[in-house]
Amino acid sequence: MPAKRERLARRRRAAGLTQEQLAELLNTDRSTLQRWELGNTTPLPEQQRKLARALNVTAAELADLLEPEHGNGSGSTTERVAYALQHPGGTDMATVAQLRQQVSDLDERYDRLPSTSLLADTAQALGQIGFLAKYARPSLRRDLQRVEATAATLLGQLVWDASQRRDHRTARHYFEQAGRAARQVNDPVAEGHALLRRSYLALYGEHDPVEGLRLTEHAAAVTNTASDVLTGLAQLHSAEAHAMLGETRRCEAALAAAETSFGKVTSADAAANLFSPTQFDRLAGSCYLFLGNHGRAQRILDDAATAMTAPTKSQAVVLGNLGLAYLHQRDLDSAVASLHDAIDVLKTNRGGGGLNVVSNAVRKLRRWRSEPAVQDVYDRLFSLMTAQ
């Protein structure tokens, strides 16, 4: 029985592609792609060139992805990286590809798992990448710096979440490290992503919309010709910064710009894995909450919550904000129901942003604390926080 190519399947998922979507890009059948991932057949040379472009990997990296894995494949990865750490001057492209895939896998799990569960592996990977980069030949050093930018951005977010969004200093250190690595290899996508994450510190941690706006506008300028996904995300967060400042016209102009950017997104975008169809509604709903248009916020957030079925950190934020929108409209029953749903999600992933939003909403319920339904929300949130 042939061994499955798990690394190939993981790389496809990390690129944000289903089997159907990738098959369409390659102008082939889903069944053909399925046979490649199962290890039943191997793509022809011309197909491999197209596959490498679609997955944004080099020919050498694709060759490694096409190697079958026996068992869970972790042993070969561990052995290859361990050998390179003992003989850093002999680091090869396959080792770099393994580290890139390891970081990609960790990044892919970020929105679904507690940040604390990913911290150690991400920190270890970043340390290994930095060590090997010191000894690698120039061409490989540049590849490692690209992976470093991704790993440092992820680690900054994990540290911030794990501290319940209190440790701004350490998170900023990693985001700045990511930005430096990205600039050294002239990677505007990685640089823009790091800038965007830095803007979150300003907007949601330090409550400084002026600094947040500066960073989001900088991110949009950096990624303008490199990624419609990241440009759109930066414009969305610029809109939220304007909303925090009470600037309705500028907020709505930034929302319109983001909608235009998202309308140009294709699966070939270098940051396609960061795109979600619900992102616009998630941020637009938050904007109208800040602007005090609670009815409009509730309708938009309700649509976003309905469209989000997986228990992700983003879903917890939406449900928490939806609870706030209902609460501002004095719809206590709906607010409590949304907050219960948010806590259900938080129990699976301990999302830092979602926990902050839900905690803020629950504080606003204080005047109804004597209500049994409200007390139940307090008890569940307390149990969740003490269990962390």
Token pair recorded at residue 25:
């890009």
Determine the length of the chain.
Answer: 388
* CA neighbor of 109 nearest in space, from 291, 313, 250: 313
Q: From CA 299, how far away is CA 304, in angstroms rounded?
A: 9
The dihedral built from the CA positions of residue 273, 278, 284 and 285, taken in this order, carries a sign that is negative
pLDDT of residue 127: 96
Residue 4 DSSP label: P
pLDDT score recorded for residue 245: 97
Both tokens of 170, joined, read: 């350490």
Q: Is 50 helix (H, G, I), strand (E, B) or coil?
A: helix
Alpha carbon 97 to chain centroid, angstroms: 20
Report residues of the chain scoring pLDDT below 50.
1, 70-75
Residue type for 297, please? Answer: A
Q: Which two tokens stand for residue 247?
A: 């600037």
Q: Are 162 and 116 in contact (CB under 8 A)?
A: yes
How far the first Cα of the chain sits from its last, in Å, is: 44
d(CA 238, CA 212): 8
User: In this structure, what token pair is assigned to residue 297?
Assistant: 């916020």
**Per-residue pLDDT, 78:** 64
CATH tag, 291-388: 1.25.40
All residues at 6 or more sequence positions from 277 whose CB lies less than 8 Å from its CB, including other chains: 307
Q: In this predicted structure, what is the pLDDT of residue 73?
A: 41
pLDDT value at residue 74: 41
The pLDDT mean for the chain works out to 89
Residue 13 tokens, joined? 């998922």
Cα(168)–Cα(162) distance, rounded to whole angstroms? 11
Name the token pair of 280: 């616009």
Residue 175 corresponds to which tokens in the numbers above? Answer: 């985001």
Domain boundaries, the chain: 6-65, 73-186, 291-388
Class of domain 6-65: mainly alpha
